[in-house]
Chains A and B, each alone.
Chain A
Amino acid sequence: MYDIVVIGAGPGGLSAAARCAELEVSHALLESSPKIANTIQKYQKGKHVMAEPGILPLRSPVDFAAGKREEILDAWETGIAHHKVNIQYGAEAKSITGEVGNFSIGLVNGEVVQAKHIILGIGMQGNPRQLGVPGDQSDFIQYQLDDPDEYHDENIAVIGAGDAAIENAIALAKHNNVYIVNRKDEFARAKEGNLNLILAAIDSEEIGAFYSSSPTEVEILEGEKFRGNLVLSTNVGIEKLPVHRVIGRLGAIPPRGLVESFGIEFPSKDMSAIPALTSQYESNVTGIYVIGALGGYPLIKQAMNQGYEVVEYILGHDVKPADHGLIEDKFKALPYDNMEVDDVLTMMQERIPIFSSVNALLFRELILDSTVHVFNEGDVVFERDDYTNSFYTVLEGGIKTVITEDLIISSAVGAFTGEGSLLSGRRRSATVLAGDQCILIETPRRTMLKLIASIESVKRVLDETFIVRQIQTKFAPNTDIKELEPIASKAVINSYTPGQVIMKEGDEGDTFHLIRSGSVTVSNEVNGKELIRTYLPAGADIGEMALLGDTTRSATIKATVKTETVSIDKEAFEMLLSRSPGLREELQEKTKKRYQENVKLQGDDDSDGLLSFLMDQGLGEATSALMIDEDLCVGCDLCEQACAATHDGTSRMNRRAGPTHAHIHVPTSCRHCESPHCMKDCPPNAIQRMGGGGEVVIGDNCIGCGNCKQNCPYGVIEMAYQTKATSSFWQWMLFGIGLAPGKGEVLSHGAPNEIKKAVKCDLCIEQNHGPACVRACPTGAAMRLNPVDFAKLA
């Protein structure tokens, strides 16, 4: 029986076990793979690993500083050897039974380990899915490919249809005879770039393909040319493929199921939810503690600190978390001199209802990410049409929301604002001013989204508030919010996938939709062809004609991207009408206008399909897309030169790349999406949406992980070494010396601590005059457009 068993030898687990060893606590560290830190082992050779967040001090018996992958792994190996950590490799936990003081951990190899306390640090990567057929444990079957150039002249079968499988197959095909085995009849899950590559390779017979095929057995051949036969069940019967090697790329099994089987509860079904933990990292199962990525802390240093702290907590020591000082600094400007940090945090949770149900640990993290502002009366918190999307809660004093000049709503302590832009990704719909003695907590969007995904009640409160405030601003500005609540409670939130039909031309329907996030196209069928009439962004309303009596839909409405709407049915709407005098007339006026527009539009048809083309390019989610009018473009490349010259010599756009339709060319350049895909998974939170123009910008604290590049469906992010623009016009012009304007030099290419960082278009936010590409175009061909303007292109 160990006092503490740590499951998972990642940064958190290593640090926890080393702390146990340092304090001479009886312990074991169980690691399923044959090496420590499985996730970091999988990084490519020589990858530079960052130590973010820089301001957080490290607190661990094991060393860690930014450096090469190998140096970091070495330091950890040395650390655990030095402290004589009791580590067991190949020990994969599959069950936990018992209770605090007497847990039994069942391992896959049949052994049972006894523990008084358990620390779970198994990360989020999960274990690779196995083939699950007889013979799949053979040594020539692998689930990972470190270096494709290691293998030559082999027959290799790659099983899987995702990006990993395709990338491996293509890399291996250079020196080997490669087959790709796909259970389905197409590569539906792959990114477009990979899809094109694999189809071309299959077409040119560089890679053999088995479609609608699944492995049924691996036969082992002893002492023959091939090491085995991969037996496949295909459409045309059983096939035997002689191989030297089989690479399974069937994805990973997320650890959540396993963790739930230990009795640990997740507060929501959302796959990004994290288990509810106390401020001492303890889960709902007393005696089981969760640290690291699984507990919502994806950065190495945080996990290592938690490893140290959790051991202290288990031993009953009173240590302040490593971030204590940071939070103390945050609170310096606040008038709470005689209060302890923890008391201030508790007070915040007590005063602000939306945060009251958040567990203490998560709230602490939230405050760490947030900024606490002390405002003077009348200060602008944010302005209408700003592109900011953080969330504000009122800790002291109050705020005034200016919806129109006549309509100003005051809110007091505990209220929140900014949920509209937070949820829709759109511009601010009102100006918010600070009231007397106002203290506000500003929480970044990413932190709030994490909270919404984890805590059902936060999501519910935000949704309800969003609906009621939308209804108020749209239809009943003079009605009290309280009176609108019964109507709002009848409203439904609907979500749609890209391309899904929200309403169909000619159908009957009496619901009305408000687009909450995403965007839609309005189209009609003309001569059997879909003609897109217009594009509507979040904030627009659709189907209001139905509420006034015309229940036949006059157009088809389709989601262009992932879209959410709030729908209200006729009954709820009648209630609204009875409460807001004049609303019926107002809507009738609006409907009349729409009819008039419809008549006008009959003449214009998107006959060359330009709008459809732009929507197919995913431009429906753009906020500022670079386009080139080919009827004006002379191909001078000044746009690219301007981009490079204003960005240290590296252009962030590619004029020649990208598709063309009719006279419009869409070059490869960031479109500054409504809900940027690149921001989804940025560990240091380096990608931000800026206030004024909505620019999506990558900050200097980028750690070079490449997640954003992978997440961007439009291929506009590059990983590049820092460059410096060193050209001089006069030297180049008069003497032909040096680089031409718009060319730059790479600084210290691949120097020891130099890492490739993510770069992309930032809409020339530092230039103050708007995008240089557009400004440099001599003929007027280059333009940056919002989808609302697309209709004018045709």
Chain B
Amino acid sequence: MSTSFVSHQGGRYFWVSLAFMVLCIIIYAWHDPVQSPNGGTWYGYTLGTIGALMILWLLYLGKRKRNFANGWGTTKGWVSAHVYLGSSLLVIATLHTGFQFGWNIHTVAYALMCLVIFSGFFGVYAYVVYPSARNKVKKSRTRDDIFEQIQGIDQQLKKLVSDLPEEIGAMVNSAIDRTEFGGGFLDQLLGRDKSKVMIDGIIVNNNNQDVVVENLVQKLTLARGQETKDLASLVKEYGARQKLLGVIRTDIRLSAIQEIWLSFHVPISFGLIAALAAHIASVFIYW
């Protein structure tokens, strides 16, 4: 029912862009400039102009997607066109260079463009793969649902420890209070768990709640009578909590990976604009 931007309108922009690339290659092969092919021939200028205009148009997506009242096409259609026509720039710009590279502003602009496009490729991959992966990890729950479940378990745990020795209560309560999520971008990306717990007055790392689980299991092994039962239900609940926290952490990590390319794609695009301006200016100044 729902079609993604990749297959929008039966991949309309894929075909458009493919046809365009093939056409450009054919003309490139056909045209026979006096010197070897480069940006300065009539065909070089044509491709350069087209490429520069396309870059401006590609950049315009950032504005277009916020024109919420605009009736000209859907954002999905624009994204689809952005992806496929953007990809075709690799061919257009490469033909524009005539395969002449060097240590100069022209090649810098070209390299930046490639970085933008390749980061975009990763973006497409991420947007296709990660949403469903995240949904699978969360078992079709929203993050809020899971947080709610965790809160419910936390209340349950607080109730359960009231019947158990004070040290266990102190440990579980401090583990709840010192559970952490997110952190900096790198922490999110690597799925680092900075949760802590205070045991016997000392704050220790509680990565993946392992310390607490191990401690509880240890106590359960030694427990007798009613305490065994109480501890067993505590361990069961705590295990459920551990699992849910893991789900959230994985989701945060996947979501960070899903979005990381934007931190390259957008800033480098602006860098590209600067380099492109310098490239065009220098071409005209040193005519």
Q: Is A779 an interface residue (CB 8 A)?
A: yes
Residues of B contacting A641 in the complex (Cβ-Cβ under 8 angstroms): 66, 68
Contact of B132 among A630, A635, A778, A792 (CB under 8 A): A630
**Is there contact, CB below 8 Å, between B75 and A768?**
no
Q: Is A656 an interface residue (CB 8 A)?
A: yes
Residues of A contacting B142 in the complex (Cβ-Cβ under 8 angstroms): 656, 658, 660, 665
- By CB atoms of chain A within 10 A, which of B132, B134, B142, B143 has the most? B142
Evaluate whether A772 and B1 lie within 8 angstroms (CB atoms) in the complex, with A632-B131, A778-B75, A780-B76 already known.
no
Q: Is A441 an interface residue (CB 8 A)?
A: no
Q: Among residues 100 to 141 in chain B, which have CB atoms less than 8 Å away from a CB atom of chain A? A: 127, 130-132, 134-135, 140-141
Evaluate whether A638 and B71 lie within 8 angstroms (CB atoms) in the complex, with A630-B140, A632-B131, A789-B1 already known.
no
Over the window 56-73 of chain B, the binary record of Cβ atoms lying under 8 Å from chain A Cβ atoms (1 yes, 0 no) is: 000000110110110100
Residues of A contacting B134 in the complex (Cβ-Cβ under 8 angstroms): 630
Give, as a whole number of angstroms, the nearest-CB distance from B13 to chain A.
13
Q: How far is the CA of A777 from the CA of B5 in the complex (A)?
A: 10
Evaluate whether A776 and B8 lie within 8 angstroms (CB atoms) in the complex, with A204-B155, A633-B131, A663-B140 already known.
no
Size band of the interface chain B makes with A: 20 to 34
**Is there contact, CB below 8 Å, between B65 and A783?**
no
Q: Is B255 an interface residue (CB 8 A)?
A: yes
Over the window 619-648 of chain A, the binary record of Cβ atoms lying under 8 Å from chain B Cβ atoms (1 yes, 0 no) is: 000000000011111110010011001100
Q: How far is the CA of A635 from the CA of B131 in the complex (A)?
A: 9
Q: How far is the CA of A729 from the CA of B67 in the complex (A)?
A: 9
Q: Is B35 an interface residue (CB 8 A)?
A: no
Q: How far is the CA of A634 from the CA of B79 in the complex (A)?
A: 13
Instruction: Give the nearest-CB partner of A772 in chain B.
Output: B68
Contact of B4 among A772, A775, A780 (CB under 8 A): A780
Size band of the interface chain A makes with B: 35 or more
Over the window 1-17 of chain B, the binary record of Cβ atoms lying under 8 Å from chain A Cβ atoms (1 yes, 0 no) is: 11111001000000000
Residues of A contacting B127 in the complex (Cβ-Cβ under 8 angstroms): 634, 779
**Is there contact, CB below 8 Å, between B131 and A781?**
yes
**Is there contact, CB below 8 Å, between A778 and B79?**
yes
Q: How far is the CA of A662 from the CA of B139 in the complex (A)?
A: 8
Evaluate whether A778 and B76 lie within 8 angstroms (CB atoms) in the complex, with A631-B135, A767-B69, A783-B2 already known.
yes
**Is there contact, CB below 8 Å, between A632 and B2?**
yes
Q: How far is the CA of A466 from the CA of B228 in the complex (A)?
A: 70
Contact of A663 among B63, B76, B79, B135 (CB under 8 A): B135
Contact of B140 among A645, A661, A785, A793 (CB under 8 A): A661
Residues of B contacting A793 in the complex (Cβ-Cβ under 8 angstroms): 1-2
Instruction: Give the nearest-CB partner of B8 in chain A.
Output: A780
Contact of A777 among B75, B131, B135, B259 (CB under 8 A): B75
Q: Is B46 an interface residue (CB 8 A)?
A: no
Q: Among residues 136 to 191 in chain B, which have CB atoms less than 8 Å away from a CB atom of chain A? A: 140-145, 155
Q: How far is the CA of A346 from the CA of B134 in the complex (A)?
A: 69
Q: How far is the CA of A729 from the CA of B134 in the complex (A)?
A: 32
Instruction: Give the nearest-CB partner of A729 in chain B.
Output: B66
**Is there contact, CB below 8 Å, between B76 and A779?**
yes
Q: Is A741 an interface residue (CB 8 A)?
A: yes
Q: How far is the CA of A631 from the CA of B127 in the complex (A)?
A: 9
**Is there contact, CB below 8 Å, between B63 and A729?**
yes
Q: Is B233 an interface residue (CB 8 A)?
A: no
Residues of B contacting A660 in the complex (Cβ-Cβ under 8 angstroms): 135, 140-142, 145
Instruction: Give the nearest-CB partner of A775 in chain B.
Output: B74
Instruction: Give the nearest-CB partner of A662 in chain B.
Output: B140
Over the window 719-751 of chain A, the binary record of Cβ atoms lying under 8 Å from chain B Cβ atoms (1 yes, 0 no) is: 000000000010001000000011000000000
**Is there contact, CB below 8 Å, between A630 and B68?**
no
Q: Is A769 an interface residue (CB 8 A)?
A: yes
- Across chains A and B, which 7 residue pairs bring their CB atoms closest together, nearest first? A769-B71, A631-B132, A645-B68, A642-B68, A630-B135, A629-B2, A741-B66
| Given pairs A632-B132, A661-B140, A778-B79, 20 additional interface contacts (CB within 8 A) | A629-B2, A630-B132, A630-B140, A632-B4, A634-B127, A635-B131, A638-B75, A645-B68, A646-B68, A660-B135, A729-B63, A733-B63, A742-B66, A769-B71, A776-B65, A776-B74, A778-B76, A779-B5, A780-B2, A785-B1
Q: B residues within 8 Å of A by Cβ?
A: 1-5, 8, 62-63, 65-66, 68-69, 71, 74-76, 78-79, 127, 130-132, 134-135, 140-145, 155, 255, 258-259
Q: What are 23 A-B pairs at a CB distance below 8 A?
A: A632-B4, A634-B259, A635-B131, A635-B255, A638-B65, A641-B66, A646-B68, A646-B69, A656-B143, A656-B144, A657-B144, A660-B141, A663-B132, A663-B135, A665-B142, A733-B63, A776-B68, A776-B74, A779-B76, A779-B131, A780-B76, A781-B4, A792-B1
